[in-house]
């Protein structure tokens, strides 16, 4: 489950561990209201997982299980494949618990356990989807319902922080020597595992987490761009990320005329990041122009391209049949496209006889260079306030 309420959150840890001022920079950007659709879908999938494991753990009776499951099935984001995917995760948990229990009668399965690692990062906590403790081992099993970005268990700082929290929660009762971490990402057919000796995890906590958390909490340290920028709220206009991308454009090629294979390899590697950065900047700029009327020198907002479409195909066929065209001429398997119809009937005639039966809806606003021939869309009358002010205050 998301642990968004912790400032030094486990889910955002790859950012604040690597780029300690990122939390302070992100605080200048608004939260997405109610979470995006993928976050809400993930929450629903986790609710199913929790319910199935509660029933397995005999925490709820069958009637309550069925009642709650039916309620969840009424959710607008529910689809029939969801339970199949979630059951991949619950089967892993159940299997791991049964193995632990076979070796240790005192093994326990804890569902949606709060995992507090604030001893190393002020206010830090998260929620472990499933935590199994027994035989000297504490194991976290985490469900990742998304399928957009593959997530792996190896050296995953979110899971390592959960591991710390789990160790902290159970160390007084169990003699723990190993922390295991598993990520189940069923929609990508991926189950990955990673384990650490407790001593190595504590070493990481003291020497990596603690100092980074102290800096992050105060908004201090160096901005360090990297793969962790992907989910940073500041990623579109962060100067450190921009500089890292622009530095590459001054790459020192060996041959002044032709690139060598290793250089082509380097360019291709960087191209993906450059393109995703440019995309982020463009999306941000478009939003600013649309929502606040911010003006970016050299750029203007225009109506994007759009396609024409038929209003009522049956009426159009009727009109054209009256003009002497046969159904065979007008149809393939379905009605021919507008361009083909213009070739058959003539553009002028189509305009005259079909008129309002063909419409063109307005294209989505697009940001283009000022030299573009399209007319600038008049901006909203909404107050246009200093763009920089919003971000600097």
As measured in angstroms, the least distance from the Cβ of 233 to ligand SF4 is 8
CB of 15 to ligand SF4, least distance (A): 5
The verdict on 12 binding ligand SF4 (CB under 6 A) reads no
| 8 Å CB contact between 180 and 197 | no
Which residue reads 């049964």 in tokens?
Answer: 98
- Which CB atom, from 12 or from 165, has the smaller least distance to ligand SF4? 12
Q: Does 229 bind ligand SF4 (CB under 6 A)?
A: yes
Burial 377-388 (b: 16+ CB within 10 A, else e): beeeeeeeeebe
CA distances from 86 to 45, 65, 66, 80, 148 (A): 6, 15, 16, 11, 17
Q: Which is nearer to ligand SF4, 27 or 315 (CB)?
A: 27
Residue 49 touches ligand SF4, criterion: CB under 6 A: no
Tell me if 15 contacts ligand SF4 by CB under 6 A: yes
Stretch that binds ligand SF4, among 33-41, 128-136, 224-232, 263-271 (CB under 6 A): 224-232
Looking at beta carbons only, is 8 or 238 nearer to ligand SF4?
Answer: 238
The alpha carbon of 360 is separated from its chain's Cα centroid by a whole number of angstroms, namely 33
Number of Cβ within 10 Å of residue 355's Cβ equals 9
Residues contacting residue 180 through CB under 8 Å, at least 6 positions apart: 137, 138, 139, 140, 193, 194, 195
Write out the binding residues for ligand SF4, residues 235-274 only, by CB under 6 A.
235, 238, 240-241
By the rule CB under 6 A, 286 interacts with ligand SF4: no
- Token pair listed for 239: 């100067």
Distance (Å) of CA 384 to CA 291, 297, 380: 9, 15, 9
82 binds ligand SF4 (CB under 6 A): no
Q: Which is nearer to ligand SF4, 143 or 216 (CB)?
A: 216
Strands 137-143 and 190-197: unpaired
Residue 223 in contact with ligand SF4, rule: CB under 6 A:
yes
Size of interface with ligand SF4, in residues (CB under 6 A): 15
**Closer of 55 and 235 to ligand SF4 (Cβ):** 235
* Residue written as token pair 């399928």: 147
Can you tell me whether residue 147 is helix, strand or coil? coil
Q: Quick one: which of 125, 145, 167, 228 contacts ligand SF4 (CB under 6 A)?
A: 228
Binding of residue 22 to ligand SF4 (CB under 6 A) = yes
| CB of 29 or CB of 299, closer to ligand SF4 | 29
Q: Partners of 132 in the beta sheet?
A: 109, 139
17 binding ligand SF4? (CB under 6 A) = no
The rounded distance, in Å, linking the Cα atoms of 295 and 376 is 12
- 109 or 223: whose CB is closer to ligand SF4? 223
Cα distance between residue 43 and residue 37, in whole Å: 10
CB of 14 to ligand SF4, least distance (A): 9
> Binding residue for ligand SF4 (CB under 6 A) from 10, 17, 19, 166?
19
The residues of the shown chain that bind ligand SF4, judged by CB under 6 A, are: 15, 19, 22, 25, 223-225, 228-229, 232, 234-235, 238, 240-241
């Amino acid at each position: 489950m998301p642990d968004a309420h912790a400032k030094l959150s486990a889910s955002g840890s790859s950012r604040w561990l690597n780029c300690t001022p990122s939390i302070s920079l992100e605080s200048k950007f608004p939260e997405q209201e109610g979470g995006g659709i993928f976050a809400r879908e993930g929450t629903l999938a986790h609710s199913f997982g929790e319910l199935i494991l509660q029933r397995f753990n005999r925490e709820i009776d069958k009637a309550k299980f069925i009642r709650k499951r039916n309620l969840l099935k009424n959710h607008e984001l529910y689809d029939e494949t969801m339970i199949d995917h979630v059951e991949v995760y619950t089967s892993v948990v159940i299997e791991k618990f049964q193995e632990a229990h076979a070796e240790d009668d005192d093994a326990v399965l804890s569902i949606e356990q709060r995992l507090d690692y604030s001893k190393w990062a002020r206010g830090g906590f998260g929620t472990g989807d499933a935590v199994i403790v027994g035989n000297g081992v504490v194991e976290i099993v985490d469900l990742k319902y998304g399928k957009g970005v593959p997530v792996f268990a190896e050296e995953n700082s979110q899971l390592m922080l959960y591991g710390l929290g789990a160790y902290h929660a159970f160390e007084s009762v169990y003699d723990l020597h190993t922390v295991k971490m598993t990520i189940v990402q069923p929609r990508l057919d991926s189950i990955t595992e990673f384990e650490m000796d407790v001593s190595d995890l504590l070493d990481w906590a003291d020497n990596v987490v603690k100092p980074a958390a102290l800096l992050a909490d105060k908004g201090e340290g160096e901005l360090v761009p990297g793969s962790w920028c992907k989910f940073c709220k500041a990623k579109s206009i962060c100067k450190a990320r921009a500089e890292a991308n622009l530095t590459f454009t001054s790459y020192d090629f060996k041959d002044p005329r032709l690139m060598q294979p290793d250089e082509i390899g380097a360019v291709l590697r960087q191209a993906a990041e450059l393109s995703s950065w440019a995309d982020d900047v463009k999306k941000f700029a478009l939003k600013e122009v649309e929502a606040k009327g911010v003006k970016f020198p050299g750029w203007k907002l225009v109506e994007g391209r759009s396609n024409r479409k038929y209003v009522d195909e049956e009426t159009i066929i009727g009109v054209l049949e009256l003009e002497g065209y046969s159904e065979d001429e007008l149809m393939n398997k379905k009605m021919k496209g507008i361009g083909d119809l213009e070739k058959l009937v003539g553009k002028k005639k189509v305009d005259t006889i079909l008129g309002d039966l063909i419409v063109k809806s307005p294209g989505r606003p697009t940001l283009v260079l000022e030299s573009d021939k399209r007319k600038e869309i008049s901006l909203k009358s909404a107050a246009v306030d200093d763009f920089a002010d919003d971000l600097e205050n």
